[in-house]
Chains A and B, each alone.
Chain A
Amino acid sequence: MIAFLVGFVSFLLAGFGLGGGVLLIPLITFIFPLDQADAKYIALIAYLPAAIGVIISCILEKKTEFAKIVSIIPIGILGSVSGTVISNNIETAFLKKIYSLFLICVGIYMSLNTIFFIKKRQKRKF
């Protein structure tokens, strides 16, 4: 039940633009006795059903531009493979530090983005 709630809450916030597994990984490491690498694997797997739901609804509503990203997906896959190979070979503690640094950058980026977006909307009103 707790596992269900953990997944539900993390991806509820993802719907608002917070990023799929960004909150999931700290929640998993906090609640369950799992380390960073295991939490990463869970986040990758948990993203798939959420993404499938979005993809199906987008195909039905025709609100996506798949053709434009077809050419860049292979490059993304290359990056993904390199990232996974690197993470498989580094220590968990170091991976956790990289993740913490990433969280700080994401948090700052998102808060600044949202603040500037709010200010832009307020300026338009006048």
Chain B
Amino acid sequence: MKKKYIYFTSYMAGLVNGMIGSGGGIIALPMLYKILDNEKNAHNTVCFFVFPLSVISASICKKNIEFHVIFPICVGAFFGGVVGKILSNKIKLKYLKIFFSLIIIYIGIRGLI
């Protein structure tokens, strides 16, 4: 039963990552909390898990974007990720997380209407 749950969750994480472009990590994270020995490694291990999924998805995806648009975003993403990781080790912003969750819900509702 546990193996079926793990395989199903991995598949769903890949499916969501392929359809939406992100979010595989969000789905895989609760599963990783259960299967890893040390829960603190979960956030790091998720990157290992989602990385090949994103690579393959990006290679299959339809592409009509020019390099000069993607490159600055990728550079910003790299520095944002590094700074975000450093800050998250030092600052606990739980209320900020709730605030941004509400923003995401609002954006989602706006998209549906």
* Chain A residues within CB distance 8 Å of chain B: 1, 3-26, 28, 32, 34, 37-55, 57-58, 63-66, 68-69, 72-73, 75-88, 95-111, 114-115, 117-118
Whether B97 and A97, one on each chain, are in contact in the complex, defined by CB atoms closer than 8 angstroms, is no
Q: Say yes or no: is B83 at the interface (Cβ < 8 Å to chain A).
A: yes
Tell me what chain B mostly uses at the interface: helix, strand, loop, or mixed: helix
Measured CB to CB, the closest approach of chain B to A6, in angstroms, equals 6
* Chain B residues within CB distance 8 Å of chain A: 6-7, 10-26, 28, 32, 35-38, 40-41, 43-45, 47-58, 60-65, 69-70, 72-88, 93-94, 96-98, 100-112
Whether B21 and A41, one on each chain, are in contact in the complex, defined by CB atoms closer than 8 angstroms, is yes
A-chain residues with CB within 8 Å of residue B100 when the two chains form the complex? 13, 18, 23, 110
Tell me what chain A mostly uses at the interface: helix, strand, loop, or mixed: helix
A/B pair count, beta carbons within 8 Å: 344
A-chain residues with CB within 8 Å of residue B38 when the two chains form the complex? 65
Complex A-B: 27 CB contacts under 8 Å? A3-B72, A7-B78, A8-B77, A10-B80, A15-B85, A15-B87, A38-B64, A41-B65, A44-B54, A45-B74, A47-B77, A49-B74, A51-B50, A53-B81, A54-B44, A63-B41, A68-B45, A75-B10, A76-B13, A79-B15, A80-B53, A84-B19, A87-B61, A101-B112, A103-B104, A103-B105, A111-B97
| Given A40-B61, A95-B19, CB of A45 within 8 Å of CB of B70 | yes
Q: Which residue of A lies closest to B11 (CB)?
A: A79
Whether A69 and B49, one on each chain, are in contact in the complex, defined by CB atoms closer than 8 angstroms, is yes
Whether A79 and B13, one on each chain, are in contact in the complex, defined by CB atoms closer than 8 angstroms, is yes
Partner of B14, one of A77, A103, A105: A77
A-chain residues with CB within 8 Å of residue B83 when the two chains form the complex? 8, 12, 15
Measured CB to CB, the closest approach of chain A to B63, in angstroms, equals 6
